[in-house]
Amino acid sequence: MRHAIALLSIAVFTAALGGCSQDTGPYGGKSYNWYQTHIKEAKAESAWCGNQPNALKIDSCTLAGRAIDNAQLNNFFKNDPSQDHVL
């Protein structure tokens, strides 16, 4: 009886771990703030996500993409040529 319970416990534990293991790329599992301060790594994560059929379901893909978009937007406004000709 103990042997059966031990085997059942191992099976349940293995199944639970299998459900938790999601491949999230080279820099997966980071926060949005982390991607904002590590744009090079966010771009690598985004490149990895580009090859994933379920990228929209992977949080790190969404967060890295948002951080890259935000950085590009900030750079656009920093380099706005219309600000060079203030009257």
Assigned domain for 15 exists: no
Give the count of domains, the chain: 1
pTM: 0.65
CA–CA distance from 52 to each of 9, 14, 44, 55 (Å)? 33, 25, 13, 5
Instruction: Render each residue's pLDDT in the chain as its tens digit; 87 residues.
Output: 665 565 555 544 444 444 444 578 999 999 999 999 999 999 999 999 999 999 999 999 999 999 999 999 998 888 766 655 555
Predicted pLDDT of residue 31: 96
In a domain, 8, yes or no: no
Q: Which domain holds residue 40?
A: 24-79
Q: What is the spatial distance between Cα 40 and Cα 42, in angstroms, rounded to a whole number? A: 5
pLDDT, position 78? 83
- Tell me, yes or no, whether 42 lies in a domain: yes
The DSSP code for 40 is H
Residue listed under structure tokens 């938790």: 20
